[in-house]
């Protein structure tokens, strides 16, 4: 037993994990997600953005009238606390601004600034380039099937028991 533990400790931890749980679907999906996020993180560095910041800029571009922090947190699948930090950093860099909602006096909406739109335009080209690089690994038919498989998994896992 001690020999096995010592042997495993000497091995690359990633290799041990892959050998132990590599065939588990959740592990494979998580590794793919991490690889995609790592590539996007690298691509966003030149714009001094994190992937969550890029995602918020993209969401805000879809809603010119603005979105609340709660809406952004839900759509980005992060906690309200995390979203608060993301928004503070974007505002500090002049990429978005906050203003009272014209509809609800207690709600603050977040909107892109002109500088935010300019940065997003460049950053989005890089994000699309990363995604296109992944897409290029598949034929159009394979990629469509891949997306269908992912959508089916999302639907199935979203079902309540």
pLDDT surpasses 60 at 53: yes
Task: Please name the residues in contact with 47: beta carbons below 8 A apart, sequence gap of 6 or more.
Answer: 54, 119, 122, 123, 126
At residue 13, the pLDDT reads 82
At residue 54, the pLDDT reads 98
pLDDT surpasses 70 at 161: no
Both structure tokens of 29: 């999906």
- Residues 113-142: pLDDT tens digits? 999 999 999 999 999 999 999 999 999 999
At residue 40, the pLDDT reads 98
Characterise 44 by phi-psi region: left (phi > 0), alpha (psi -120 to 50), beta (else).
Answer: alpha
Sequence spans of domains, the chain = 26-158
138 secondary structure, DSSP code = S
- Residues 60-107: pLDDT tens digits? 999 999 999 999 999 999 999 999 999 999 999 999 999 998 888 888
> How much is the mean pLDDT over the chain?
91
Q: By the 8 A CB rule, do 110 and 68 touch? A: yes
User: CATH number for the 26-158 domain, one of 1.10.10.10, 2.40.50.140, 1.10.3210.10, 3.40.50.300?
Assistant: 1.10.10.10
Q: Would you say the pTM of this structure is higher than 0.75?
A: yes
- Residues 4-48: pLDDT tens digits? 555 555 678 877 777 777 678 898 899 999 999 999 999 999 999
């Amino acid at each position: 037993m001690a020999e096995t533990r010592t042997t495993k400790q000497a091995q690359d931890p990633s290799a041990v994990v892959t050998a132990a749980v590599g065939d588990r679907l959740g592990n494979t999906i998580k590794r793919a997600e991490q690889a995609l996020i790592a590539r996007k993180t690298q691509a966003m560095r030149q714009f001094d953005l994190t992937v969550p910041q890029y995602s918020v800029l993209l969401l805000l571009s879809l809603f010119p009238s603005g979105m609340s922090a709660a809406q952004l947190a839900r759509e980005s699948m992060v906690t309200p606390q995390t979203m608060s930090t993301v928004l503070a950093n974007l505002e500090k860099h002049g990429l978005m601004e906050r203003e009272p909602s014209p509809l609800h006096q207690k709600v603050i909406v977040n909107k892109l600034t002109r500088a935010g739109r300019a940065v997003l335009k460049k950053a989005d080209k890089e994000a699309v380039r990363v995604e296109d690089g992944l897409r290029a690994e598949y034929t159009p038919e394979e990629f469509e099937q891949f997306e269908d498989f992912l959508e089916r998994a999302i639907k199935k896992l979203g079902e309540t028991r």
